[in-house]
């Protein structure tokens, strides 16, 4: 069973976030045993050339390489997929129309509207037919649910079959409700519960990016039935351990 099938079947998969564009960071993170790593280009300074290199470094470790793009944008989605990404995570999907556009940008006609290029993903022109099979059977499509409009339109979004999973974003969700970062407020908790309830009702996988590098926070999401989980990110794993040990040493 490949990663796409595991995600759709709600089998637990664990990944993490890459924001530091360095081969050593990839290799260190890969040694932890993640199923996938996501290169974040929404909130980092990673450029296109680095994206392709990082994808290659991740895949060389037999881990799936996802990219969190900066928008539901035709050009950037096409470019990262042509660079060989195994999947994409797309922010701010707020409606069925947004989800349909996402599908259009990922897939070639007749399913979508993606333009055809011959780059790394297509083995520079020698593997286009093979790539079409990979696109159909392996490429992972994740919609981020991080706005109150997305919560209110969630059933319609989840009706789009080509969306493999969703990923809730509590920070931006709380901001869309005029309470940025206050995701422990009752009304924000209620919105997150609505996400859980609708996904469970429709038998769809639940996803989240748990920022804390303490495993217990991710474990609590597993206990709630979340199966597509990003466990912290590179600079928190580095910084939290350094700060913790320095504090202990200074004592």
3-state secondary structure of 139: coil
Among this protein's residues, is 209 annotated catalytic? no
Q: Are 237 and 210 in contact (CB under 8 A)?
A: no
Q: Are 16 and 65 in contact (CB under 8 A)?
A: no
By residue count, the chain amounts to 251
Name which of 75, 76, 85, 150 is nearest 121 in CA terms: 85
Name which of 22, 15, 78 is nearest 45 in CA terms: 22
Paired residues of 90 in beta bridges: 143
Task: Render 114-126 in DSSP notation, one character per residue.
Answer: PPP--STTTGGGT
- Distance from CA of residue 188 to its chain's centroid? 22
Please list, in sequence order, all residues whose beta carbon lies within 8 angstroms of the beta carbon of residue 103, skipping any fewer than 6 positions away: 111, 112, 141, 160, 162, 163
Q: Are 11 and 18 in contact (CB under 8 A)?
A: no
Which of 27, 43, 185, 245 is flagged as catalytic?
A: 43
Helices (H), the chain: 3-8, 23-30, 48-60, 74-82, 96-106, 128-137, 148-152, 154-158, 170-176, 186-201, 215-223, 234-250
Catalytic positions, written as ranges: 43
């Amino acid at each position: 069973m490949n990663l796409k099938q595991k995600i759709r079947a709600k089998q637990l998969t664990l990944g993490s976030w890459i924001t530091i564009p360095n081969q050593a960071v990839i290799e260190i993170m890969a040694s932890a045993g993640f199923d996938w790593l996501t290169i974040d280009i929404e909130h980092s300074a990673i450029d296109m050339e680095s994206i392709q290199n990082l994808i290659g470094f991740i895949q060389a470790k037999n881990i799936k390489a996802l990219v969190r793009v900066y928008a539901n944008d035709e050009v950037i989605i096409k470019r990262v997929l042509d660079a060989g990404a195994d999947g994409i995570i797309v922010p701010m999907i707020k409606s069925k129309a947004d989800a349909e556009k996402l599908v259009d940008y990922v897939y070639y006609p007749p399913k979508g509207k993606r333009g055809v290029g011959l780059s790394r993903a297509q083995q520079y022109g020698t593997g286009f037919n093979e790539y079409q099979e990979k696109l159909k059977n392996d490429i992972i499509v994740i919609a981020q649910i991080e706005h109150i409009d997305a919560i209110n339109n969630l059933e319609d979004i989840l009706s789009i079959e080509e969306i493999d999973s969703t990923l809730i974003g509590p920070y931006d969700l709380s901001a869309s409700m005029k309470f940025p970062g206050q995701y422990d407020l009752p009304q924000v908790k209620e919105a997150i519960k609505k996400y859980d309830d609708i996904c469970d009702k429709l038998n769809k996988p639940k996803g989240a990016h748990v920022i804390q590098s303490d495993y217990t926070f991710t474990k609590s999401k597993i206990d709630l039935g979340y199966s597509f989980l990003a466990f912290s990110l590179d600079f928190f794993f580095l910084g939290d351990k350094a700060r913790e040990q320095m504090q202990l040493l200074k004592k």
